[in-house]
Structure 1
Amino acid sequence: MVWAVSNDAWVLIGAAVLLTLGEIASIPVRQTLLADLVPAQARTKYMAAYALNARAGLLIAALCVTVGAFVPALGMSLLYGTAGLAAILLYRSLLRARELQAGRFEAEGLLSGAS
């Protein structure tokens, strides 16, 4: 989205640094969420499939570079903004699923402890 606002090299470098820091902060959170949501016996399969998202991201990035040659900066900015919003909504749904799963486990633990 920064490219739609500025072509200044320092702004782009600052945005790249900010993006890198965000990635560094988000990876442990994503892996913890995945480990919490997946059954222990299937965790390696899910982790392997999850690792493919980096490859998919590289593919999408390459496609966006090509599309960016034909689509104006504002259009690309909207595309990236939409992708970011989709990621935020996905994280929110994962966090809700995690909370529901934790509540279900607590309820099952209370029920099995009561009998």
Structure 2
Amino acid sequence: MRLKDELILLLRKGFYVLLMVFILMFVAISILLFNFEKNNLVNFASFVKSAVEEKSFESSESVINYINKLIANKEEFMFFSPAKENRLFYVSVPIKVLGYNFVICKDLRSSFLKLVIILD
């Protein structure tokens, strides 16, 4: 009986260790995912800025329409807005184009869902 109790305690300790390793790996991979996506968004924002500055526009609405076309061609979970979105799974980068301030945002909820599925 004594050996069985010690084995159960050992398995319980092993489970807790594995659970802590899993949580630490999930946090580390999440931080890396945010940094990777932030760098991609910064590069895309500089591309948008250079593409917009090469053309001439009549109004802010035409700038907005052109940026919408660029974003629609790039990725489906990306959008821009005049104000910063402070949400849990969003990465955003502010840009100033032709005197207008915009914030390009990317929704990372689908990326986190894929990460959870892969890690499970």
More strand by share: 2
- Kindly indicate whether structure 1 or structure 2 has the higher relative contact order, using CA contacts under 8 Å at least 6 residues apart: 1
Query: What TM bracket, shorter-length normalisation?
Result: 0.3 to 0.5
Name which one, 1 or 2, has greater alpha-carbon Rg. Answer: 2
Relative to the length of structure 1, the TM-score reads: 0.38
Q: More helix per residue: 1 or 2?
A: 1
TM-score by length of 2: 0.36
